[in-house]
Structure 1
Amino acid sequence: MTPSTGTPLSRIVKFGKAPAKRDSRNLQLSAVLKAIAKLPAEYDFDVQHHGIPTPMFGNDYHGDCVIAGRAHQTLRFEDAEQKKILPITDTDVLNEWHKENGGTENGLSVLDSLKLWRTKGWKAAGKTYKIKLFAEIDRKNHDEVKRTVYADVGCGLGFALPDSALPEFHAGKPWTQTTGPAKQENGHYVYVPGYTATGPVGVTWGRKQQMSWAFFEKYCDEAYAVIDAADTVKKQQLLNEKKVDAFLAGLKKK
């Protein structure tokens, strides 16, 4: 199968995130990501690394957004590390999604899926990829979201979207409307490689999607930094590797 390279805007999209789980034992990002004296007003990994695609990864006909987001993160992790675009396919994404949901069409828990990514890894483009660890982002702290993105650490946001999100998306508009209620049945996971003064910029349903900070505050119900490896100068400067290693050592003892 040829790799996904991009998908025309489709009127058909699927949700697929289960309600957010909470775990007080989660590593907090503030414990391992150093402060940055002055963040740029805007930043996008994809502007710094040209040619990264934004495939649908089957999320038009399947509720596989959690794994599709993982695929978008993996593309960027490995572009930074291997200096190439992995040929990740829709089949890679759907195989992992079905493995994690038991072959059903059920949505996935982001927290459970991250744990599997860390411990078991997933097979993409013929190779198994694992992450080093994940950490919970303080959703009330815009700078923490921006620091995660600027550090080129994976940033994944879970939402309980309002019904207005789909009309805005299909009209090619940013997510800014905040009058409707959050709906658990509209659970969705979005990988975020960038931000502007307006708010985070995610990759979802085959393209980039700007959202406002007000939208993020109202509808984001979970946010995680996903740390692959300290494989860039920026990560080496901003991640507190001693604390990262101490946390991982503690996990091994459990």
Structure 2
Amino acid sequence: MIYNMKLGKQAPVVDPRVPHLSDRCKLARPLPAVDWTPAVKTFTALGNNQHGDCTAAAAFHTAQTLLANSAGSSWVPTDQDALNLYAATSGFPKVDEGAVELDVLKYWASTGIPTPAGQDTIAFTTLNPRNLDELKLSIQWFGSAYIGVAMPLSCQTQGHLWDVPAGGTKGAGAPNSWGGHALCLLAYDDKTFTAISWGEKYKMTYAFAQTYIDEAYAVLSRHWLDVAGIAPSNIGWQELQADLTALLPSGR
């Protein structure tokens, strides 16, 4: 039951030094629909059914999907993979209080996370969390959007399709009435986005996305750059890395 699942995203932290996607490439009209999930045969909860490691689980679900699509990999990350990243970016295991998405992204960019193709390092940009086209372009161009959601309690009774409840954003529909949650968006169509959480696919309506997403990032994986014709040719890895140098823990 969804009631037993954990969340784990702490409040958004804004670092003005992180560039916005539109600062580094020209935005365009997104395709009508994109879905990167069919290449992945198995998603798992990655410990998020027992611990508040959703920020780490979302990172590994992203890396898993990118490798499946770029290299045909059947790799399935382990719970321990996600918990190791969680421990590196939070007070876990002494406390299990979640992590800040930006801390996870900085660690992922500076140190990387282990995959069968080697350490996956990234560059990243911010997205306007309420701009549907920016979320779609991140999915279309980079394979995902790494997002944070101010989850309402109403999601606990909505099954696998999340929408703004009939009562609006009060009571069980109030943002953060359940808590903060990190997810990766891997697909969209004309009405919904598809996210991975707790090892399963969940759809969210556009109204839900614009109401409850409170932070969003485009993640450019080094592995993804090898996929010809997907990432926009005018976005540069070196330029993004230079943007991020001052804020990465290792000074990379």
TM-score, normalisation: structure 2:
0.85
Unpaired stretches in structure 2, ≥5 consecutive residues: none
Cα offset, 1:124, TM superposition: 4.5
Q: Structure 1 residues 16, 127: closer, same or farther in 2, change over 3 A?
A: same
The reply to whether residue 219 of structure 1 matches residue 207 of structure 2 is no
Indicate the residue corresponding to 2:125 in structure 1.
135
2:86 corresponds, among 94, 97, 106, to 97
Indicate the residue corresponding to 1:4 in structure 2.
none
2:179 corresponds, among 168, 174, 186, to 186
Indicate the residue corresponding to 1:196 in structure 2.
189
2:8 corresponds, among 10, 13, 16, to 16
Indicate the residue corresponding to 1:173 in structure 2.
161
Indicate the residue corresponding to 2:221 in structure 1.
228
Give SS of 1:233's match. coil
Partner Cα separation in structure 1 for residue 139 and residue 210 of structure 2? 17
Cα offset, 1:88, TM superposition: 1.4
The reply to whether residue 113 of structure 1 matches residue 104 of structure 2 is yes
Letter matched to residue 71 of structure 2? Q
Cα offset, 1:207, TM superposition: 0.9
Cα offset, 1:127, TM superposition: 4.6
The reply to whether residue 26 of structure 1 matches residue 14 of structure 2 is no
What aligned pairs does 1:36-55 form with structure 2 within 5 A after superposition? 36-37=28-29, 39-47=30-38, 49=39, 51-55=40-44
Partner Cα separation in structure 1 for residue 48 and residue 111 of structure 2? 23
1:205 corresponds, among 183, 189, 198, to 198
Give SS of 1:203's match. strand
Report the identity percentage: 26
Q: Which moved more, 1:14-23 or 1:153-162?
A: 153-162
Give SS of 2:158's match. helix
Q: Structure 1 residues 139, 173: closer, same or farther in 2, change over 3 A?
A: closer
Cα offset, 1:148, TM superposition: 1.0
Indicate the residue corresponding to 1:3 in structure 2.
none
Alignment: residue pair count: 238
Partner Cα separation in structure 2 for residue 125 and residue 15 of structure 1? 27
What aligned pairs does 1:231-242 form with structure 2 within 5 A after superposition? 231-236=226-231, 238-242=232-236
- Contact 1:65–1:189 (8 Å) recurs in 2: yes
Cα offset, 1:251, TM superposition: 4.1
Unpaired stretches in structure 1, ≥5 consecutive residues: 1-8
Letter matched to residue 182 of structure 1? P
What aligned pairs does 1:71-82 form with structure 2 within 5 A after superposition? 71-82=60-71
- Contact 1:88–1:125 (8 Å) recurs in 2: no
Partner Cα separation in structure 2 for residue 79 and residue 222 of structure 1? 26
Cα offset, 1:106, TM superposition: 1.6
Aligned CA-pair RMSD = 2.3
Give SS of 2:66's match. helix
- 1:111-130 C-alpha deviation (Å, 9 max, x unpaired): 11100110011234695322
